[in-house]
Structure 1
Amino acid sequence: MPVAPATLTIDLGALAANWRLLHERAAPAECAAVVKADAYGIGIEPAVRTLWAAGCRTFFVAHVSEAKRVKAEAPAATVYVLNGLLPGSAASYLAPELHPVLGSLDEIAEWAAFCVAAGGPRPAAIHVDTGMNRLGLSAKELGELAAGPLIRDFEPALLMSHLVAAEDPADPISAKQIAAFEAARSILPGVPASLANCSGLFLPGRPVHDLARPGYALYGGNPTPGRPNPMRPVVRLEARIVQVREIGPGERVGYNGRWSAPSPRRLATISVGYADGYPRSAGGTDEAAAAGIDRGAALVGGTLCPFVGAVSMDLIVLDVTEAPAKAARRGGTAVLIGDALDLDEVGRRAGTIGYEILTGLGRRYERRYSPMA
């Protein structure tokens, strides 16, 4: 019998199928994979092995440490490091060969100087800002770069930008960004270009260019909120019930007693909490119930059972009054992610997004990887 209080099942076959679907939407462009944040929580190593076997050849991460893990699994892969070039870090990109994403003239100057000292141009991506106002060169700075000497000292391997709100086709910012990116491309003609994230692949006109960079959708998140999810679920989280109890009307539950029983209730406790990446904000309170606000829930015997009381570090309490007694028992199973509780629904109930749920999945779960088909 398993000794871990919860099991996280990761379907690698679904991961591969999701990449193939996005690859088809990106065609004839290349389809990369974003595997930062430990491949969105499922593990860089199994994710990269699976995606490489499916045909993916280019990967994006946030940090050099992540890039080296990708290269250990796929030495021939092209790996871009998204979060810029930290001062003095250029040599860390040399072996194995990694590609920095340069988002300022200072970064570009440092990378160009490193290339000259190292014996010749080395590849890097140029990040141009088209509306995120986070990282990236302005249009003016890109023009200065194109007209100046630094661009001859390194190899511009990719021109990229990042969409602000591609998941909302009605938001006019996407059209503005696409136009700004086209203007940037005209400044550096001939450099391969990348703009589309996973939701960008579903925008009208699909701004795919030469390379698409899907992330969240690979792992089962919905790239088209408000419409049916075209992706297959990749993760499933199930917890064992450790205790069941009966309480009377008015009795309170959890730290600070923020939920009180409106009538006699049957409660089940599971050994999962915010230390396992389940947000404290998902806890059930009297205030949320009075306002009709959904909070966290689990499926027990197919019945939706709401969280009651605070999510604590290691424990969550469920109201299983309506669940079948044969399921709502010590040793029974509560589904936290899966079936009707997909990533986006779990995120909504916690007052956050599915990305945070996925990337926050803790290390205390028993992890089971199902192989590729």
Structure 2
Amino acid sequence: MPKDTMTAEQRLQTVIRLGVPDRVPVDPMIYYFAAYYANITVHELWSDMKKYEFAINKCFNELGPWDIYYPINPISPEAYMFILPMKMKLAGLDLPPDEINQVIEEEIMSADEYLTFARSKTPTTFLKYINFLSTLACRVQREQQGEGIFAKTRIIRKMLKQIPVWREEFKRWQARDVAVQHGICMEAPFDTLSMSRGLVSFSYDLMDNPGPLAEVSLALSKGYVKVGDWLTKKTGVRRVLVFCHRTSNDFVSPKQFEQHAFPSLKAIVNGFVERGVTPFLHCDGNWNKNLEYLYELPKGKVVLQFDGRTDIFRAKEIIGGHCCIFGDVPASMLAFGGKEEVTEYCKKLIEKAGKGGGFILAAGCEVAPNARPENVKAMLDSVKKFGYYS
């Protein structure tokens, strides 16, 4: 039987560069599932680091192992809302302790503020982006304390407290020969605007007055890259997860994507690559009509995460020789399918999407909270059954 000849980090670096590793790496993308599997509450998962680690380790030891760890463990609401600027209902605070956290689709930014943020006199692009994000973060806090310097500083300090926690956690995983997917996660500028305006208002903006969208997204992109670069240095993992929650064909047309979303996305990807940071683009939704644009991104430097809505096999044909493909065992299959179905689909992914390297097997978006443990194990086991290249 074949055996591993690479470390997890070597395996990951090889597929990012579109090379052929010893075998296909696997990244399950586990978060909420860990709470239910380990019999702790969702509130404990996001608020208690020791219980979070207990739950994730239980999954790793009993269902794994896996090659790549998906770190998404903020222990303060401020940290979460700094990354995702939307009001939230949190398990154990606003919801029963075992419910999944919920975002609230609500307008927290006016259309008049697009150009205010884009053309602000903030002295550096780094501070411009920090001011933009911290302003939005102030507006989504549970306890409103205004938008002054003290309120912003309070939020930023809570965010910065996460860094040593993440850094030490990442070292523990690396000591177990598990690569860490990213050192920080961030919402793409265009998508941040969509979330902070609210879906209905933003849709009107796209139709009635789209001009400022590309301008403000591009104006924020340099600061975005500088903040991400700095944070990945501090956490020790030079990879960044870029959430593209509102950039798919489910939300914008290909023309709107080309004109208003892609310029800033391309700018931040190029900026990160120039600084030695590898972007993972979390491509939520259907990207089938956006794939050709991705040829403009640097070859062998970007990972594209698909969640089941995009045809991953078509993506492999179109863009697989240019970007690493990541995905995409569907949440529905992990929750409601059988072990044999999961195994067969993983085999198909490995043989087709994994052909010639440049592929990471993973759950689509993340493992469903109600996934069957035997299905998760079947996904993780499949790389040892079918994933060796020689």
Tell me: higher relative CO, structure 1 or 2? Use CA pairs within 8 A at least 6 residues apart.
2
Computing the radius of gyration from Cα coordinates, the structure with the larger value is 1
TM-score normalised by L of structure 1: 0.38
**The structure with more helix, counted as a fraction of residues:** 2
Specify which structure has the higher proportion of strand: 1
